Amino acid sequence: MLSLIIFAPLVAAIFVAALPSEPVAVARRAAFVFSLLPLLLSLLLVAGFDSSVGTLQFVEYAEWIPSLGVAYSNGVDGFSLWLVVLTTFLTPIVLLASWGDVHRNVKSYMCLILALEGCMLGCLLALDLFLFFLWWELLLFPMFFLIGIWGGPNRRYATIKFVLFTMVGSALMMVAILYLAFSHAEGGELTFDLLRLYDTPLSATEQSWLFAAFALAFLIKVPVIPLHTWLPDAHTEAPTGGSVILAGVLLKLGAYGFLRLAVPLFPQAAYEALTFMAVLAVGGIVYGAMVALLQPDMKRLVAYSSVSHLGFVMLGLFAFNNTGISGSVLQMVNHGLSTGALFLLVGFIYERRHTRMIAEYGGLWSVMPIFAALFLVVTLSSIGLPGTNGFVGEFLILIGAFRTRPWAGAVATLGVVLGAVYMLRLYKRVFFGEVTNEANRNLIDLSPREIAVMLPLIVMIFWIGLYPKPFLARIEPTTKVYLERVEQKIGSTRLAAGTGSEE
Amino acid sequence: MQTAELADAGSALLRWIPLLPLLGSAACMVCAAVGWRAATRVIAPLAVLAAFFVSIAAVAAMLSGEAALIDRVYTWIEATPLSIEAAFRLDRLASVLTLIITGVGFLIHVYSVGYMHDDEDEARYFAYLNLFTASMLVLVLGDSLPILFIGWEGVGLCSYLLIGFWYKDLANADAGQKAFIANRIGDAAFLIGMFLLFWTLVDLGQPSLRFTDINAMAAALQSQAPGIVTIVCLLLLVGATGKSAQIPLYVWLPDAMAGPTPVSALIHAATMVTAGVYMMCRLSPLYVQSEIALNVVAIIGAATALLAATIAVVQRDLKKILAYSTVSQLGYMVLAVGVGAFSAAIFHLMTHAFFKALLFLCAGSVMHAMHGELDVYKMGGLRKQMPITALTFLVGALAIAGVPIFAGFFSKDLILESAFAGGHYVIWIVGLCAAALTAFYVFRAYFLAFEGESRVEPHRAAHLHESPSTMTLPLVLLAVLSLVGGWVGLPHGVLWGNQIDHYLQPSLAALHGGEHHLAGGTVLLLTLLATAIALSSIVLAYSMYGRSLGSADRLQQKFAGLHETLWNKYYVDEFYAAVVLKPYMELSRLCWQVLDAKGIDGAVNGLARVVGGVGDGLRRLQTGNVQSYALVMLVGAACLMWVLFR
């Protein structure tokens, strides 16, 4: 089942590649239809997912390179389930949205998006460190080309920066993976099986260094300040679809990496890093919000808002309690939906006016009311208004963080105010006032296709906002298992009970 | 702990109270999208009227023996140990607010039909107004703090949308934004208070944020976690200062007058701004546990009441006068909470909803006739052309001034009396001063606008007319309520006595040591004193503004400095701009242009250049051909695999 989900988009990519380049409509339609297949499969996965257990499900295991202890193994639990669905959900939306803005090498674009989807799914589902790393590295290629070929004028700088930042992190992570595997081999056999590596005996110093290496790779990916500067450049230059995937899923892989690898592998070190991580997270929330405020470019503004929002996600992860972590996992999905939607909306307006400068706009409400209304809903979701998805995630994260580190929870809560400041300022400058720029006077409101692109996102924004229970119910058991594992390692007994705090 | 109280009866009726206006809002949005403007004039008021009738039915059901009705709709958020149910609860306290919101709300909807008749965005207006009503009802009926918070932020959103309703003018959009952000600052404190309260309750073995549980645990909280209650109450108070426009967050409310006038009446006078007062009354068992918190509440309320009243005295914009008046009157309610007179706070909340909504709607009627002119110095003698508006405004003015038998008289007197009885003499004197100013500024406005010589500009004078009946009818009804609305709370021992206090008692906490009762003679003296002060203020206002403005002008010139300070609202906006906004902007610029661009990116790019200095070829390898670098790595790995796997 899981392999099917991973390889369906990859096979689809090959199939689309085999299609003739002209007419482009064929490639577009074919890619879109193919992308519905993984979505369908992942929905079946949700249907078959047992929400009463927190351990890995649908586990697949096959020997791959026995001499190295490398296996092909996949599994899904509450942490990866919704991220998988998010990935398969966003891909068709991205493909549909690209009909408007990608006109060169359409076929290759479609292939790369599908290939990227496959790599991300592989990464999310892998249970073997070697396999994980393989997908982790592989997905750089499609992203690299997406920005490099369809990107903006400054794309060369952006791609290099993106790849270099990521490579620095993954190089260290690779060393750490090898060290870990060989340490494990000393006491037993060589293996890259994650679940077995969880029990590798390590000294405190070893744990700290290995955790640091993994953490660096993931912190860059998230990204956490001060490692975030690749993100605004990558986002600004990337085509709309690239930005949506980048913000929607790729960044989450960093946070997911902590949940799946860094923390359970080195719980002691992770727990000791709690305060440090909380400082980084809260710093990111405030700093991202402050820098976002004055950005003249809409896309850069949204990119910095991601830095701020991912700060919440990190804060939740390092709350080490159920509300914080479950909220954080949910917030990953929420951020994918809201920020993805924001990038799509920015893309729509860019297609019309070929500028993302906020100062070029103003008074758009009277010209494009539907666009304005949808933008408003997404803005509200982004600033976490109750009733939208953003609130549920933020609320759980903040309440969890407050338990573990009251100051962190309190400062982050004030960060919610700053979020409203920059988003409302953006909204005001784009939509309110008179139309001052003649070029905007005759803009056409969203087309049915564009509305169709947005509609699923809007529905999900309200669904998770009003009825998050089905989502949380599938996350929570896994959080419990995860916390029990951490508890066992650090000798505390209060985390999984949900009341846990350090004291 | 629920067993301690009377049984809550289940009722699926409650959900319909907020749901009806919510559905109305959705319908209006559809109408707005397809251009059926006229339909919204019927849908929106009817949705609120229906909610009003359902409310009456629900209140009747509750009064037939239950302590409260409860409607558990579904489990909203569940993440151990947190579990939040989407549930509504109607008790006596909530019933007063529910009836005000749907009742007064309906009248204002009807008034809006006339007022917004010629606005092309009418449908959008009604969609927002209905959405507001729904949010406000969620706020009032919410069974737990988080559910209240949904409504709390929801009304904030609607307020933002309605203040900036005429979005083409950026000043309106700015005012809306200011309101939202000032409220959000309060909301952040509110959330922190909620978190602290929740975890403290978890530690006490009661992981719940339901009001009934919080209130039942209040005493245990105070005894087992001393100090926490005070902190929680103060944090929630900060939330209340945002929503209920108290010092230091009141600055958004005067600007909020940028919205359509019925909005000012409904949101910024009768309902939303009272949410903070309501919330504190809802948690009155918690507040009575902390004397410190109550004292802070009382001081903030009294200070706000006085400060805003002094500003209102010199303003020339009719709506601004009423806005500062609202801030001041909300100060009274907060003051009442602070001295533990919760039922008096709710009583004043109710009478204020009547007379302040009335005054705002009168202002709207004047605006309608004057084509947007609001300067009272450019009015005068309007009574001749607008007799109904003038008369109803007079009723509202008498009510707010505290003239006997009018609604405000009873509620304001009760608050001052409670302050005096509790030994809060300073607070009492401040309240009395504010009362004197209130009577003065409202009659100043009345005399300037409706009496004396006409100062209306000629091009406007020709078009002066009384408003249509959809507008005057709500005025008359509200005027009647402003007259008789206070009779439910007569002083103890007079006729049927204080019925509203009696009615609310089961929902509210009492101060430790019980009620402070004053001797009948003292009460009478206090009342006479307050009445004398109100009447002399009215006479003073008449002598200064009733006929000629000469004495007022001379006074203004004599105290030019004071006038200037008051006219500029003590320069508080300027102070905030200089101390908060500007530094924040500058810091943001610093983070972006120096830290981010020069600091981090400078380091990254510098590093790249250093590497480049080591060897150009190396540099090209690292930066130009990253994909081949990665490819080499993969190929290497593949080779290794092949070797071992073979």
> Is A502's pLDDT higher than 50?
no
Task: Quote the minimal CA–CA distance from B501 to chain A in Å.
Answer: 34
Record: contact B199-A161, CB cut-off 8 A: no
Q: For the packed helices B616-623 and B601-614, what is the interaxial angle rounded to 10 degrees?
A: 130
Q: How far is CA B403 from CA A95, B25, B322, B419, B538, in A?
A: 70, 40, 18, 19, 10
What is the sign of the dihedral through the CA atoms of A456, A460, A463 and A468? positive
The percentage of residues in chain A with a pLDDT greater than 90, rounded to a whole number, is: 47
Q: Which residues of A touch B585 (CB under 8 A)?
A: 293-294
Most confident range, picked from A117-126, B545-554, B555-564, B604-613: A117-126
Give residue B612's pLDDT band: very low, low, confident or very high (50, 70, 90). low
CB A433 within 8 A of CB B168: yes
Q: Which residues of A touch B80 (CB under 8 A)?
A: 322-323, 476, 497-498
| Mutation site, B592, B593, B610, interface A, largest A CB count within 10 A | B592
Task: Quote the minimal CA–CA distance from B593 to chain A in Å.
Answer: 9
The shortest CB-CB distance from B601 to any of A229, A380, A409 is to A229
Record: contact B168-A499, CB cut-off 8 A: no
Record: contact A386-B154, CB cut-off 8 A: yes
| Mutation site, B135, B199, B576, interface A, largest A CB count within 10 A | B199
Task: Quote the minimal CA–CA distance from B525 to chain A in Å.
Answer: 49
- Specify the higher pLDDT residue, B129 or B374: B129
Q: Which residues of A touch B170 (CB under 8 A)?
A: 428, 432-433
DSSP string, A339-388: HHHHHHHHHHHHHHHS--BGGG---HHHH-HHHHHHHHHHHHHHTT-BTB
Residue type, B373: E
Record: contact B199-A434, CB cut-off 8 A: no
Half-sphere exposure in the Cβ direction for A17 (13 Å, CA): 12
Record: contact B76-A467, CB cut-off 8 A: yes
Record: contact B79-A396, CB cut-off 8 A: yes
| Mutation site, A421, A435, A440, A482, interface B, largest B CB count within 10 A | A421
Record: contact B604-A229, CB cut-off 8 A: yes
- H or E stretch covering A481: helix A469-490
Q: What is the mean pLDDT of residues A389-413?
A: 93
Cβ-Cβ pairs closer than 8 A, A with B, add up to 166
Q: Which residues of A touch B196 (CB under 8 A)?
A: 402, 406
The mean-pLDDT minimum among A38-42, A49-53, A96-100, A330-334 falls in: A96-100
> Is A231's pLDDT higher than 70?
yes
SS3 B248: coil
The shortest CB-CB distance from A472 to any of B33, B74, B77 is to B77
Record: contact B196-A424, CB cut-off 8 A: no
> Is A58's pLDDT higher than 70?
yes
The shortest CB-CB distance from A413 to any of B168, B191, B199 is to B191
Record: contact A167-B644, CB cut-off 8 A: no
Q: What is the mean pLDDT of residues A3-25?
A: 85
Q: What is the mean pLDDT of residues B40-61?
A: 94
**What are the tokens at A214?**
């993994």
Over its C-alpha atoms, chain A yields an Rg (Å, rounded) of 22
pLDDT score recorded for residue B638 = 60
DSSP 8-state code for residue A268: H
Name the residue among A307, A257, A245 with its Cα closest to residue A282: A307
Determine phi and psi for A318, rounding to 5 degrees: -95, 20
Record: contact A65-B180, CB cut-off 8 A: no
Contacts of A199 (CB under 8 A, 6+ apart): none
Q: What is the mean pLDDT of residues B183-211?
A: 93
Task: Quote the minimal CA–CA distance from A503 to chain B in Å.
Answer: 13
**What are the tokens at B588?**
């943001």
Q: Which residues of A touch B589 (CB under 8 A)?
A: 294
Q: What is the mean pLDDT of residues B622-628?
A: 54
Q: Which residues pair with B9 in a beta bridge?
A: B69
Q: Which residues of B touch A476 (CB under 8 A)?
A: 78-80
Determine phi and psi for B261, rounding to 5 degrees: -60, -40
Record: contact A425-B184, CB cut-off 8 A: no
Over its C-alpha atoms, chain B yields an Rg (Å, rounded) of 28
For A389, nearest residue in chain B (alpha carbons): B77
Task: Quote the minimal CA–CA distance from A356 to chain B in Å.
Answer: 18
Determine phi and psi for B235, rounding to 5 degrees: -65, -45
User: Rounded distance, CA A17 to CA B383, Å?
Assistant: 81
Record: contact B168-A164, CB cut-off 8 A: no
Residue type, B400: I
pTM of the model: 0.91
> Is B130's pLDDT higher than 70?
yes
Q: Which residues pair with B70 in a beta bridge?
A: B10, B89
Record: contact B170-A433, CB cut-off 8 A: yes
The shortest CB-CB distance from A398 to any of B157, B195, B588 is to B195
Task: Quote the minimal CA–CA distance from A20 to chain B in Å.
Answer: 27
Q: How far is CA B131 from CA B27, B277, B535, in A?
A: 11, 22, 41
Task: Quote the minimal CA–CA distance from B459 to chain A in Å.
Answer: 27
SS3 B461: helix
pLDDT score recorded for residue B156 = 93
Record: contact A327-B79, CB cut-off 8 A: yes
Cα distance between the two ends of chain B: 71
User: Rounded distance, CA A497 to CA B81, Å?
Assistant: 8
Give residue B556's pLDDT band: very low, low, confident or very high (50, 70, 90). confident
Q: Which residues pair with A109 in a beta bridge?
A: none
Q: What is the mean pLDDT of residues B79-90?
A: 91
CA of residue B118 relative to chain centroid, distance? 28
Q: Which residues of A touch B123 (CB under 8 A)?
A: none
> Is B516's pLDDT higher than 70?
no
pLDDT score recorded for residue A459 = 95
Q: What is the mean pLDDT of residues B595-603?
A: 78
Task: Quote the minimal CA–CA distance from B184 to chain A in Å.
Answer: 6
Tens-place pLDDT, residues B210-268: 999 999 999 898 888 888 999 999 999 999 999 999 989 999 999 999 889 999 999 98
pLDDT score recorded for residue B588 = 85
For B75, nearest residue in chain A (alpha carbons): A469
* Cis peptide bond upstream of B262, omega within 30: no
Give residue B4's pLDDT band: very low, low, confident or very high (50, 70, 90). very low
The shortest CB-CB distance from A365 to any of B167, B192, B608 is to B167
pLDDT score recorded for residue B7 = 59
The shortest CB-CB distance from B180 to any of A159, A413, A420 is to A420
Q: What is the mean pLDDT of residues B9-30?
A: 91
Determine phi and psi for B496, rounding to 5 degrees: -85, 0
Record: contact B623-A164, CB cut-off 8 A: yes
Tens-place pLDDT, residues A347-378: 999 988 888 899 989 889 989 999 999 999 99
> Is B546's pLDDT higher than 70?
yes
pLDDT score recorded for residue A84 = 94
| Mutation site, B34, B82, B234, interface A, largest A CB count within 10 A | B82
| Mutation site, B144, B178, B626, B634, interface A, largest A CB count within 10 A | B626
The shortest CB-CB distance from B164 to any of A67, A229, A432 is to A432
Task: Quote the minimal CA–CA distance from A270 to chain B in Å.
Answer: 23
